């Protein structure tokens, strides 16, 4: 993958490939969008000489990679949000048939009521968390003007973190498979940590009061 992505570095196609992968992985979480961002950033670092000697003129390439990934992330969130908003009946029917999805929706509703907007940022790092939050926010009819700023922050944070792992991993360890492997491990570690935090149950006494879950649907994300 490093060699394939590296061959696209310096071409506008690299940004299109990254953006497409990030855009679609809200519906297909199995797509390796994070791995692709890391690999592209590693290849960009190698091409700019970052593994040995930094070439400042090449830095905007990495910044544009971050911008492309973050923009695609927000657009994907928005598409999923709007689809869930308009197709609540079909979405609820699909969720009801899956015990796992039903439990995830219940946890999401409670978490949104407790944590609000920061959960959107945290979920962006968790496996499939972005999908659950975007679809859940749409199905619950949270207001777009409350959801989208947090989605933008989440997309930018995730893109910057992923690109930084690849770029600085190549700077410190060289543009090798070791650097790519360490960067991917750091990305997956952040995802595992985010998933653990999202799975935590509310502390006793911190449960959502009766009626608050319904109010959360129209309340702003905080």
Q: At residue 202, what are phi and psi to the nearest 5 degrees?
A: -60, 145
188 pLDDT higher than 70: yes
So what's the pLDDT on residue 101?
59
Every domain of the chain and the residues it spans: 2-216
88-107: average pLDDT: 62
What are the helix (H) ranges across the chain?
2-8, 13-24, 33-48, 59-86, 88-96, 99-115, 117-123, 129-139, 144-173, 177-199, 212-216
Contact assessment for residue 88 and residue 139, using Cβ atoms and an 8 Å cutoff: yes
So what's the pLDDT on residue 76?
93
Binned at pLDDT 50, 70 and 90, residue 85 comes out as confident
pLDDT tens digits for 118-175?
888 888 898 888 888 888 888 777 788 888 899 999 999 999 999 999 888 887 777 6
Contact assessment for residue 165 and residue 186, using Cβ atoms and an 8 Å cutoff: yes
- Contacts (Cβ under 8 Å, ≥6 apart) of 187: 34, 35, 38, 161, 162, 165
C-beta atoms surrounding 177 within 10 Å: 11
> Would the pTM count as exceeding 0.85?
no
Residue 57 DSSP SS3: helix
55 pLDDT higher than 50: no
Closest by Cα among 171, 137, 167, 179 to 154: 137
41-64: average pLDDT: 61
212 pLDDT higher than 60: no
């Amino acid at each position: 993958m490093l060699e394939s992505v590296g061959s696209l570095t310096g071409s506008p196609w690299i940004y299109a490939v990254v953006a497409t992968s990030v855009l679609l992985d809200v519906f297909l979480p199995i797509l390796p969008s994070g791995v692709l961002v890391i690999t592209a950033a590693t290849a960009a670092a190698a091409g700019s000489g970052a593994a040995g000697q930094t070439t400042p003129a090449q830095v905007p390439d990495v910044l544009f990679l971050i911008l492309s990934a973050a923009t695609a992330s927000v657009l994907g969130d928005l598409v999923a949000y709007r689809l869930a908003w308009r197709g609540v009946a079909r979405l609820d029917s699909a969720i009801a048939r899956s015990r796992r999805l039903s439990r995830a929706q219940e946890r999401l509703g409670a978490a949104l009521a407790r944590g609000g907007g920061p959960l959107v940022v945290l979920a962006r790092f968790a496996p499939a968390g972005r999908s659950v939050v975007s679809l859940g926010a749409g199905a619950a009819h949270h207001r777009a003007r409350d959801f989208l700023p947090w989605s933008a922050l989440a997309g930018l944070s995730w893109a910057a973190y992923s690109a930084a792992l690849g770029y600085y991993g190549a700077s410190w360890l060289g543009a090798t498979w070791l650097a790519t492997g360490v960067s991917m491990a750091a990305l997956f570690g952040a995802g595992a940590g985010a998933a653990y935090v999202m799975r935590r149950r509310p502390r006793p006494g911190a449960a959502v009061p009766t009626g608050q879950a319904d109010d959360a649907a129209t309340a702003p994300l905080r």
